[in-house]
Chain A
Amino acid sequence: MSLRRSWQVFLRELRLSPRSPVVFFAIAMPLILTFLISAVFGSLFDAKPKLGIVDEGGSEVTVAAQELDGVEVVLVDDVADLRDLVEAHDLDAGLVLPVGFDDAVAERRRPDLQFYVSGESLASNRVVLAVTTVDLVRGVSGEEPPVAVVVTPIGDEDYVPIGDRLLPFTVLYAVMVAALFVPAATLVDEREKRTLDAVLVTPTKLSEVLLGKAAFGVGLAMIMGLVTLALNNAFAGKPGAMVLFLLVGAIMMAELGLILGLWAKDIASMYTAVKAGGILVFLPVIFVLFPGLPQWVPRVVPTYYFLVPIYDLAVGGATFGNVTLELAVAIAICVALVPVVAWVAGRSERQLAMTV
């Protein structure tokens, strides 16, 4: 095998990549997914009550409200705008603090309060905002609360928010599309358009083509995997271990991509195979999302051995020492896939030789 010819194939893939829709997918989809997950799980299912404030006199209530964790505070210029925003449910509630509000509270006078509530706001959000507003106003009055509150954490200290539990999903998507789908799709495409036949009449061997395509897929997967981890702030101070697991995962996916690309007779059957087999590849993601499920099940799937260690390193606080067994299994799977790729390639080469 000539590494120089494989390098030429790699460069050819790189040159053609700007025109390839599948490379565009590989680059765009992890970014879109990261955005969607943070948007959906950051604001749709975990939406904080929104309080709009029109502060006509520079009240301390506004300053204190903006420091609150648990209520999203929006400053609005005038009362009419505030009413419109509340009525449209852009805000759950709106508070108008007139000039002299703080003085009135400090002097124990009962100031006028304009408090608007959106009809579409949940009762639970209304009560949170009402209680919080009273608390904020009491803060301005300088009263010392007649009670001390101690927070005692209960139960599962390993609780992980749903947004974080979706990290393996975005990482797998980044690695799978780039390392599996790109080499598989380009292989099938080249076979369909018979450009592979043209390449193979030169001194270049199929194994060199496969190595070049796999290297391109692995390189792209590494870049997108690292970008995904960076966007999710998931390196957790262990970049070396992350890079290692990403590399092993990308190689594993690239090997599966080569097998798929050599096996599928056309792009539609390859796509159908990806759709049908996708559930197996994504199985570890489901078990990370639902930790109550028996955790031995995803161990039968190869992707477990790079995805779950990445998750454990990023979110679960694991050290490299905790995940060395998984790394060894992942490497063993990569090594075991080499003869399978060689066998499928050999079979494919014989078929190509017959058709040329």
Chain B
Amino acid sequence: MNARVVDSIIRKDVFEFSRNRFLVFITILVLVVWVVVFWLLPSNVDETVRIGVVHTGLDPLLAGLQGDDSVGVGLEAYSTEDELRAAVEEGRDDIVAGIAFPADFLDATAAGETPTVQLLVPAGLSSEQRLLLSGIVTETAYAIAGTAPPVDPTTEAIILGTDRIGAQIALQDQMRPLVLVLVLMVETFALASLVAIEVQERTVVAVLATPARVNDFLAAKGIFGTALAFIEVTLLGLLIGAFAVNAPVIIVTLLLGAVLVTGFGLFSGAFGRDFLGTLFIAFFFMIPLMIPAMGALFPGSTATWIKVLPTYGLVEALVGVTVDGESWAEVTPVLLLLAAWGAGAFVVGAYALRRRVATL
């Protein structure tokens, strides 16, 4: 392999990329859109359901429901039902709904009567919040009537796993790895498009008529594709604050991710017969490659079949470091998996392109 030849081919690729209005447009658009979208996402998690309440003399009973984030319910007191109704209607004070206890609620319940309590419910209130409202009312009434609950899940509960009360992961933090992976995926298309153009227009034949060999050509494409993806994703990472925790691990992960998508880019570019064909093949790879990143948004354990997808290691490492603050030692197994997939994808992509070039 000749380093000077490789360098010349890379320079040519950089020049061609900068002249391709479509690729430059897509690259900048993706960067700008994702940075804007990212910073518009909520940066904290509100774990509290706020409920407006009109009550008379119920403060000692409802006090247990007012407190810090760990309770999950926040009560906002209103002096009249009309005031509460207006607040619910206008969505004031962040309340999701209202409970209007009648003025004689305490006395009537204590006397064994069955008073009626109004739940003021706005359109779109979720069914679980309705359950909560009605549960609060019923338990308040039972407490006044002196009937203790048959079970007490609140105090008898056993917490399993890290208790994240008050420290839940915000959507912005959940989305950070996803955004980085998405941008890497888009680069699959960018490189595939450049390779496909080179194959279709047979400029590769012209390149190989010079002292350049196929290995030089493949090395140049690999370096250019990896650098293109890595620079873009690193820039995005800087703009969305992805390097705040354990930056060296993130950089290595993104570099391995860039190698992985370059492999898929070479493969897609080698097989794309035209622009749309390349687009189709790149999309064909992008959809399954996106699944681990989408799966990370949902709570719970990862399905086994997702673990065998090439981007699983990439997503796990990014989530592990950016969300859970994991160290080198903790992410090494998934980084090795990612490296293996990256090497495999690169070898297959380079082999496919070599075969394609040989047929020209």
Q: Cβ of A118 < 8 Å from any Cβ of B?
A: yes
List residues of chain B with CB within 8 A of the CB of A68.
131
Bitwise interface map of B from 5 to 26 toward A, beta carbon under 8 Å scored 1, else 0: 0000000000000001110011
Query: By the criterion of a CB under 8 Å from any partner CB, how many residues of chain B are at the interface?
Result: 82
Q: Does any Cβ of B come within 8 Å of A44's Cβ?
A: yes
Query: Is the pair A123, B70 in contact by a Cβ cutoff of 8 Å?
Result: yes
Q: Which residues of B contact A1 (CB under 8 A)?
A: none
A117 and B128 within 8 A (CB): no
Does A126 contact B280, Cβ atoms closer than 8 Å? Answer: no
B85 at the interface (CB under 8 A from A): yes
Q: Is the CB of A123 within 8 A of B119?
A: no
* A44: chain B residues within 8 A (beta carbon): 297-298
Interface membership of A295, Cβ < 8 A:
no
A46-B126, A120-B162, A135-B138 known; A151 vs B121 contact (CB < 8 Å)? yes
Evaluate contact between B89 and A154: CB separation under 8 angstroms.
yes
Complex formed: what's the CA distance from A128 to B119 in Å? 16
What separation, in Å, do the CA atoms of A68 and B151 have in the docked complex?
Answer: 19
Count the A-B residue pairs with Cβ separation under 8 angstroms: how many? 244
Q: Could you give, for residues 230-258 of chain B, a 1 whenever the CB lies within 8 Å of some chain A CB and a 0 otherwise?
A: 00000000000000000000000000000
B300 touches A21 (CB 8 A): no
Q: Is the CB of B48 within 8 A of A110?
A: no
Separation in Å of the A144 CB from the closest CB of chain B? 8
Whether B151 lies near A120 (C-beta < 8 A) is: no
Interface residues of A, CB < 8 Å — how many?
Answer: 78
A24 to B151, CA, bound (A): 57
Q: Spell out A's residues near B (CB within 8 Å).
A: 20-22, 24-25, 32, 43-44, 46-49, 68-71, 83, 86-90, 93, 95, 105, 108, 110-111, 113-120, 122-135, 137-138, 141, 143, 145-159, 161, 185, 189, 267-269, 271-272, 275
Which B residues are closer than 8 A to A by beta carbons? 20-22, 25-26, 29, 45, 47-49, 69-73, 85, 88-89, 98, 109, 112, 114-124, 126-132, 134-142, 144-145, 147, 149-154, 156-166, 168, 274-277, 279-280, 283, 287, 297-301
| 26 A-B contacts (beta carbon < 8 Å) | A21-B277, A49-B128, A69-B127, A89-B161, A119-B159, A119-B163, A120-B162, A120-B168, A123-B48, A125-B128, A127-B72, A128-B72, A128-B128, A128-B131, A134-B135, A143-B147, A145-B141, A147-B137, A147-B138, A148-B115, A149-B117, A151-B118, A151-B130, A158-B123, A161-B124, A269-B22
